[in-house]
Structure formats: C-alpha cells, structure tokens
Amino acid sequence: MSQPPKEVIKFEVNGRTVEVAVRPYDVLLDVLRNELDLIGTKRGCDQGSCGCCAIHMDGRPVLSCLTLAKWAAGKKITTIEGLANPEPHPLQTAFETCGATQCGFCTPGFIMSAKALLDRNAEPDEATIKEHISGNVCRCTGYLQIVEAVQKASEELLEKDRPHDASVVERNRQTHPAGR
C-alpha cells in the first residue's frame, strides 16, 4: 500500500503545545495514545458506539476515534490527564467516592462528557445528566452512581462558587471540530 507522507501538525494538549507528525488517515485517538503517550483516553469500539475515547476539542466533548488527527491542528485538546490540576477535579473524586468507577475503562470518557456538561450547565438535573452521558456506555456500574457522582461534583463546584466560564460556552458554539 502506498502511504501518503506524514505531516507535522501543531496543537495544544492539556495546556502544552505539541508538534507531531501524523498521517492524513490517522485518527486523533491513535496519535494521543501512540505518539503522545496519553493512554488515559481509551479505545472501546473504534466506531463511535462506546464513548471511551471522548476528549475535549476547544471545550467540546468529541470522540477521538472518529476525529482525524489533522483536524486537531491549531486546536486546544483536553484529555482526562488534563483535568487534575494537580489536585483531582471534583468530578474525579466524586466518581471515586460514589462508586461510579469499577473496572474504570469507561471512566475517562464519562468524566470528559460530564465535565463538558458542567462547563455548560453548572446545575444539571438528572435527565440532563443522563442525556449527556448517554453517548457513553458502561458495563459495570449501571450508570446510577455515575449520575450521582455528577450531581455531587456539581454541588461541590457550586459551593466553591467557581463561576463557569461563559466564554467557553460561546467558543463552543463557534468552532467546528474540523475547522480552523
């Protein structure tokens, strides 16, 4: 098979600017895992049907298994490794204390979905939480404790009165994951 050449792209991942050589047909998931050693992002299906590979691209939760690596050029990527800062994010501790993680393989994806939700909506109701985590599947927990964990984190964040960043919401609206 003749393979088109690699091209160096530059993007920000977890606050750090990186340059990597990627093939036009590499998906971001592979580049994160194999080139950048960001193995926290998981591959459960490679077909958009599990949510294990969810990351944020310019604040939006997207599936890295269906995102071409080249689309990341110039973007801000956040992976699960970027949430603890350095203390774990309240969502992360809530997943622990609520029993929302068992085998943990789905967990990074769920946390990324939940984080995007809380960035948009600091006080989501149960139905909204379920909607926002319904692009992720979990075979271990049965979801209820995940919902509980998101609620708990939301309460904790509200208590800390950390205003959620309105500009992020606005930016989310404007950028397209495949656009520059």
Q: Pick between residue 49 and residue 97 the one whose CB is nearest to ligand FAD.
A: 49
DSSP 68: B
* String marking each residue 76-105 x if it binds other proteins according to CB under 8 A: ---xxx-xx---x--xxx-xxxxx-xxxxx
Supply angle C-alpha 28, 75, 79, rounded to 5: 55
Q: Which residues of 90-121 are buried (b: 16+ CB within 10 A; e: fewer)?
A: bbbbbbeebebbeeebbbbbbbbbbbbbbbbe
Residue 82 in tokens: 């970027």
Radius of gyration of the chain from its Cα atoms, rounded to whole angstroms? 16
Q: Pick between residue 150 and residue 169 the one whose CB is nearest to ligand FES.
A: 150
Residues of span 82-141 touching ligand FES by CB under 6 A: 101-107, 138-141
Residues of span 34-53 touching ligand FAD by CB under 6 A: 48-49
Binding site for ligand FAD (CB under 6 A): 48-49
Name the site residues for ligand FES (rule: CB under 6 A): 43-46, 48-53, 63, 65, 101-107, 138-141
